[in-house]
Amino acid sequence: MAANIHPDQLRTQCSSGVAGVAQMVMRAIDVERLIEEVHPARAIWELVGRLDLSGYYAGIASVEGRAGREHTDPQVLISLWLYAYSRGISSAREIARRCEYEPAFQWLCGLEPISHRTLSGFRSGQKAALDDLFAQVLGMLSAEGLITLERVTLDGTKIKANAGGATRSAARRRWKHICNWRASKFG
């Protein structure tokens, strides 16, 4: 009998034992249970929470007598970017897509929708500050022995250790910046 029924009809016939995939379901989701207790997204969230983000918050602070609008918490945006970079993702559109279905991204944004425009606007509007912040994070991770800086990628481009003189000079400046930051923070 089932052989004569169209597959679309089977999907909607719950009494036949076939799941009703065309049905909508509402469920309560415990955001804390989306990812394990020991997960890289949680570690990044905690790391970003320990950084001094006052400069980011000062830019969105309310001013008496002026109209304001809601902003996405800078800790959320920075954590999303860091987690995405750790997964090899550098596209704001891809991050926004993953916030819709991937548990770690959903956990970081608390199931709130994040627009790719918000992500890219934050990244481009805070470029210098974020570059410095990402260098600090690299320094912290390196100081903790969690990463080595043997291979550094920039926007998906691998920079080999035997690159030309100008590249080595720029790498030395970056490394010096990270070492200076590390010395100022860890003594």
Model confidence pLDDT, tens digit, residues 92-140: 999 999 999 899 999 999 889 899 999 999 888 888 888 888 887 877 7
Contacts of 25 (CB under 8 A, 6+ apart): none
pLDDT (tens digit per residue) in 73-99: 889 999 999 889 888 888 999 999 999
pLDDT of residue 157: 53
Q: Nearest-5° angle of CA 95, CA 59, CA 182?
A: 75
β-bridge mates for residue 159, sequence order: 152
CA nearest to 127, candidates 98, 108, 100, 155: 155
15: left (phi over 0), alpha (psi -120 to 50) or beta: alpha
How confident is residue 62, by pLDDT bands cut at 50, 70 and 90? low
This prediction's pTM: 0.64
In the numeric block, the tokens 């991204």 are attached to 105
